[in-house]
Structure 1
Amino acid sequence: MSTTFPRSGKKVLGYDTGQVEDFLVNARRAYDGEGELTAESIRHTAFSMKKDGYSPELVDAALERLEDAFAAKERERASATVGEAARLDEARATAQVVINRLSREPGHRFARTSFLTVGYNRADVDRFANRLVKYFQDGFPITVDDVRTAVFRPQRGGYRENQVDAVMDAVVEVMLAVR
């Protein structure tokens, strides 16, 4: 029986232990150069939920550290391949696209769902978007973890979740690229 992470308990859902263990084996191989795995693919990793699975909070924290480690390797590789200046120029270009999107009028930053469908609360997203714009333009203190753990309440007619999530992913990519 593996003890990689504490279990969630017999009556509580946690991450499927087999899936987590398989992922970690593949991640170790990839980190050693024997496989394909990126910081982005780690960020998008999901596991099935099962009773007595691994603690989601602790697995998620480990995935964040793993994403950071892979991002550091990717930065080093990109700097060696295209040069530090070109790598930073690419990050700046992505940041500008994000700033352009987040600088739109509140309530109009993303496409909205129909009034019958639930999306992200527009006010919550707009408030966080304002913080992100300040981060990019003025150096307002915000961390990668702040972005990763941002939560938006549901709202009928809210912003489309996939668009907001894509921009949040781009923010994380830029933040990791310029560390």
Structure 2
Amino acid sequence: MVAVSSTFPTVPKGKRGYDVDEVDAFLDEARKAYAGDVSLGIDSARIRRTAFGLTKNGYSTAHVDAALERLEDAFASRQRDRAVSSGAESTWFSTARSGAEDIVARLERPQGHRFDRVGILTTGYHPRDVDRLTRRLHGYFTDGRPLSIDDVRGSVFRPKRGGYRESQVDLLLDTVVDVMLAVR
């Protein structure tokens, strides 16, 4: 397993960081899951979707996020290895191929119309920012252009009233990371 310390730097006094108890509890569960306790239901996707509350003097978000990315990679690699060793490799890659096809279908929609829009009084992701990333994703999936998982994970979009629905964009990015991890 990738070494993940349960002790992270804390944010400067008075600043907000991830809740120390929540992070430590989750990492303890993740260690148990990695050691074989499947009843905990922790996999790479759950790790990616994990969120912690913010508290004063909590853990540095950047350090915890980096550790979670390494942990997600370790779980994904292990999941792939188990699929290969159990003879389910073709199913594993078929699932990844299906995800990639769904992604490409979404990316081929017209610019500015790739995702539903939120109401004019609601804030969503800025369509130009999202469309800029989707062009890069399209190049990765259709032409084999280089793009790293970190590029996808680190994507940040400006807020915009009437912008793209955040949940749809986030779901697409989760699927992209799943596919990229599956074929690594």
Aligning the two structures, in what range does the TM-score lie when normalised by the shorter sequence? over 0.9
Root-mean-square deviation (Å): 1.3
Secondary structure at the aligned position of 2:11 is classed as coil
Specify which of 155, 179, 184 is matched with residue 174 of structure 1. Answer: 179
Number of aligned positions between the proteins? 178
Matched, 1:13 2:16: yes
Q: Distance in 2 between matches of 1:87 and 1:175?
A: 12
Larger CA deviation: 168-177 vs 69-78: 69-78
Q: Distance in 2 between matches of 1:92 and 1:82?
A: 17
Q: Distance in 1 between matches of 2:6 and 2:106?
A: 44
Task: Tell me how far 1:12 sits from its aligned partner.
Answer: 0.7
Task: Tell me how far 1:137 sits from its aligned partner.
Answer: 0.8
Q: Distance in 2 between matches of 1:128 and 1:90?
A: 23
Task: Tell me which residue corresponds to 1:65.
Answer: 70
Task: Tell me which residue corresponds to 1:90.
Answer: 95
Task: Tell me which residue corresponds to 2:146.
Answer: 141
Matched, 1:99 2:104: yes
Q: Distance in 1 between matches of 2:105 and 2:133?
A: 15
Specify which of 1, 7, 10 is matched with residue 4 of structure 1. Answer: 7
Matched, 1:33 2:36: yes
Q: Which runs of 5+ in 1 are unaligned?
A: none
Instruction: In structure 1, give the amino acid aligned to 2:21.
Output: G
Specify which of 42, 45, 48 is matched with residue 47 of structure 2. Answer: 42
* CA deviation vs aligned residue, 1:115-141 (integer Å, no higher than 9, x gap): 111100011111110110100011111
Question: Any residues of structure 2 matched to 1:147-162 within 5 Å, and which?
Answer: 147-162=152-167
Secondary structure at the aligned position of 1:10 is classed as coil
Task: Tell me which residue corresponds to 2:134.
Answer: 129
> Given the two structures, how large is their TM-score scaled by the length of structure 2?
0.93
